[in-house]
Amino acid sequence: MSADVTWVLVDGENIDATLGTSIIGRRPLPEERPRWDRLISFAARQWNKTARGVFFINATTVLPQSFVQALKAMDYEVVLLSGGPDDKVVDIAIQRTLRALAAREAAVMLVSHDGDFLEDLSALTTDGRRVGIVSFSEFRNAGYASVPGLEKFDLEFDAAVFDARLPRMRVVPIEEFDPTTFLDA
């Protein structure tokens, strides 16, 4: 694949768990779920390259057929995985994909908070390609902060994949502070 492509690798389990457990505190309502097509558009605009999405799903116990069909309609490559009860099949598949991308020139955006990908993602930043991590910034593994050349994006504020504003607390750089966000609410 050419250098004109950005591969967007989505750790859906990780994002869903963080959204439901750490941010909302319950199962998200439909309007609180990410609009995954917007993520691909964001990646394409951000780096001015064609973006191709790969969504990894643990289908060991259940196959979310309607969700898979929706992702496929958005042109995602859907990777359905299975394994034993102790296998982190999504993590293993993403790690293998990151390693395979090392031999290609394409840019990479990983959508996850998980530190299990730190080593493989860091290895991609050494050859001048564009590499990014997309997540809820406050839940991103702290190790990503020290990776030179890694671009960091917030799933809600930068990629804008949500219709509803999420109940998040975040540290706001003073140059971005806008009091009307709460004065007009």
What's the Cα-to-Cα distance from 149 to each of 45, 65, 123, 125, 141, rounded to whole Å?
19, 38, 11, 6, 16
C-alpha span between 34 and 9 (Å, rounded)? 15
Residues 56-100 pLDDT 10s: 999 998 888 999 999 999 999 999 999 998 999 999 999 999 999
Average pLDDT in the 131-159 region?
95
Per-residue pLDDT, 168: 82
Q: Are strands 50-58 and 131-135 parallel, antiparallel or unpaired?
A: unpaired
End-to-end CA distance of the chain: give it in Å, rounded: 46
Per-residue pLDDT, 185: 65
This prediction has a pTM of 0.90
Per-residue pLDDT, 1: 47
Task: Give the burial class of 179: count Cβ atoms within 10 A of its Cβ; 0-12 exposed, 13-18 middle, 19 or more buried.
Answer: exposed
Please, what are the domains in the chain? 5-183 (3.40.50.1010)
C-alpha span between 166 and 23 (Å, rounded)? 7
Contact residues for 164 (Cβ-Cβ < 8 A; gap 6+)? 29, 31, 32
